[in-house]
Structure formats: C-alpha cells, structure tokens
C-alpha cells in the first residue's frame, strides 16, 4: 500500500524518523497546554516566549547532532 508517496528513498527516510514523529507531539503538548494556561493566563507572555526559546534552543542544540548520525 502506498499512502502518500511511491518513492522508496523517501519512505525509508520517513521510517528512519518515525520515532520522532510519534514522540514530539506527545512531548510538545505539555508546552502548549500547561505553559499557555499558566503564563498567558497570568499575563506573562514575555516570560513564556523566553522560556520556549531557551528550551527549544537547548533541545535543538543537543538533539540535532544525535539525530543526524
């Protein structure tokens, strides 16, 4: 069955990153639901922006070399 593409290289690459495609939505939901309700509800948009940028930068900094092995 060919769901979205018939290119075998693309399907192999998508299968390689399948774990990230499953894990990232489950992890990121906490950022949106918890931090949005706390910081935006309290009127602290700048703190939320800074924390998301800092955490996102650190996670990207440490995960990109690991993913690209």
Write down the domain spans for the chain: 8-67
- Can you give the pTM of this predicted structure? 0.40
Q: How close are the terminal C-alpha atoms of the chain, in Å?
A: 29
Tell me how far apart the alpha carbons of residues 68 and 65 are, in angstroms, rounded to a whole number. 5
Residues 54-69: what's their mean pLDDT? 76
Is pLDDT of 25 > 70? Answer: yes
Tokens of 46: 């700048």
């Amino acid at each position: 069955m060919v769901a979205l593409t018939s290119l075998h290289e693309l399907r192999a690459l998508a299968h390689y990153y399948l774990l990230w495609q499953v894990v990232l939505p489950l992890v990121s939901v906490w950022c949106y639901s918890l931090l949005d309700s706390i910081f935006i509800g309290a009127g602290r948009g700048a703190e939320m922006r800074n924390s998301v940028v800092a955490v996102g930068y650190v996670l990207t900094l440490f995960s990109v070399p690991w993913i690209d092995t």
